[in-house]
Structure 1
């Protein structure tokens, strides 16, 4: 099965930042309006056009990206909870942004070196990989699926990317379901 990952468009956090919202509240922030034409143009990407369906993370930035593509492509769109962003706190508790950033940097360093800590309080690379593949495995009857998701979700399957993954970047993966 071919998986066509698309990282969501760039998020507009201005209102959330002005209101000093928590990270959880920031997950509701929309796309920056200026990035919308670039997202619209992705509908012309041959791999995305070949997709049988579109899957999306439940976060606003991914959902809005998926909806923009879906409006042009007219594919079935499914929202998958487990395509959500990497969890900075596995208990779902509030943690200060400074602690979230510390955990993120630690996670990235460990992931880059092929290591992980399973009791660090944040989601391990293995746990994220399993969460993502469990979603993909349920769509094994499709030839090509487009997945609108987040940097860490994509990286969990394609491996560490020192330069990251750009907003709106398309990455194709030949995926073998684990069933």
Structure 2
């Protein structure tokens, strides 16, 4: 059995997106706020994490910064896994406003992440996101304890929870 500690990144500085008018994946380059780094430092003290053998991270800045803080505090190596990235709201990579992001997110929520019959959407479906998350998780079932620094929507494909607070830990157990 493998215990995965799913740790959502700390609070990100979303204001940078508007300041620099970032588009598509550029919007995922924002770092953590000062509060976000403090949140992760607090999380790194959680006694459950002392058993972890490695840290897996999404390639997005907010998750990488979270993983870097955990790595420093826990003295663990980080492996970046591209498929741990957050939900992709626009597979055309052209959205550039918070309003468009909210529209795409609302449509995803309205349809529970499932494309309506006979219709295609711009956003990544829940099943697409789950498949890539499962692929990563299955490669690490030979470990006992693994930290994953990542994202709320991606984690919700694995566990049935509502909103996940920044820098919080969800224990997820898998059997080979």
> What TM-score do you get using the length of structure 2 for normalisation?
0.89
Q: For residues 50 and 110 of structure 1, do their structure 2 counterparts lie closer, same or farther at Cα, with a shift above 3 Å needed?
A: farther
**Which residue of the partner structure matches residue 81 of structure 1?**
82
- Tell me how far 1:37 sits from its aligned partner: 2.2
Are 2:128 and 1:135 equivalent residues in the alignment? no
Any runs of at least 4 consecutive aligned residues in structure 1 with deviations exceeding 4 A, and if so which? none
Q: Deviations over 1:120-150 (max 9, x none)?
A: 2211111111110100111111011100001
Moved more, 130-139 or 42-51: 42-51
- Tell me how far 1:96 sits from its aligned partner: 4.6
Mapped to 2, the partners of 1:102 and 1:37 lie a distance apart of 31
**Which residue of the partner structure matches residue 93 of structure 2?**
93
Equivalent residue runs for 1:60-79 within 5 Å: 60-79=61-80
Q: For residues 73 and 20 of structure 1, do their structure 2 counterparts lie closer, same or farther at Cα, with a shift above 3 Å needed?
A: same
Mapped to 1, the partners of 2:129 and 2:135 lie a distance apart of 10
The question of whether the paired residues in 1 share the 8 Å contact of 2:39 and 2:166 is answered with no
Instruction: Name the SS of the counterpart of 2:79 in structure 1.
Output: strand
- Tell me how far 1:160 sits from its aligned partner: 4.7
Mapped to 1, the partners of 2:34 and 2:121 lie a distance apart of 37
RMSD of aligned C-alpha atoms? 1.7
Equivalent residue runs for 1:1-179 within 5 Å: 1-90=2-91, 92-97=92-97, 98-111=99-112, 116-117=114-115, 119-161=120-162, 164-177=163-176
Q: Deviations over 1:53-109 (max 9, x none)?
A: 10000000000000001001111210000000101123x330353343222112123
Mapped to 1, the partners of 2:105 and 2:94 lie a distance apart of 15
> What TM-score do you get using the length of structure 1 for normalisation?
0.88
Mapped to 2, the partners of 1:103 and 1:176 lie a distance apart of 35
Count, aligned residues: 171
